[in-house]
Amino acid sequence: MADVLEISQNDVQEENAKIAKVGNFINDKKIKLKDKVSNIEIAKEMSELVDVAQKVQKTLKNSIVNEAENIKSLGLEYKDIDFVQAKEMEN
C-alpha cells in the first residue's frame, strides 16, 4: 500500500501565510516600481517643459534685441526698453 502523506490544517495555513507574504512583497515592489516609473515620466515631462520655456525665453530676448536695434537704426528712442539692457539679455 502506498504511503499516505498527512498534511495538517496548521501546515496548510502556514504555507498559505508564506505564500501571502511573498505575494504582498511582490505587490509592494510593483507599487514602488510604478511610482518610480511615474516619477521618471513626470521628470521627463518637466524637462521638456523647461526646454520649451528656455526656447521661448531666448526667442523673446532675440525679439526684444531685434526691435531695439530696429528702433535705434531709425534714430528713434524707445523709453520702455534700454538698448544696453536688451543687448545684455541676449547673453
pLDDT tens across 72-83, in order? 777 766 555 565
Average pLDDT over the chain reads: 83
CB-CB contact of 81 with 64 (8 Å): yes
Helix axes 83-90, 9-73, angle to 10 degrees: 140
Distance CA 91, CA 87 (A): 7
Q: The pTM is what?
A: 0.51
pLDDT of residue 78: 58
> Could you report the per-residue pLDDT of 20-39, keeping only the tens digit for each?
999 999 999 999 999 999 99
Going by pLDDT thresholds of 50, 70 and 90, the confidence category of residue 88 is low
pLDDT value of position 1: 42
Ramachandran region, residue 75 (left: φ > 0; alpha: ψ -120 to 50; beta: rest): left
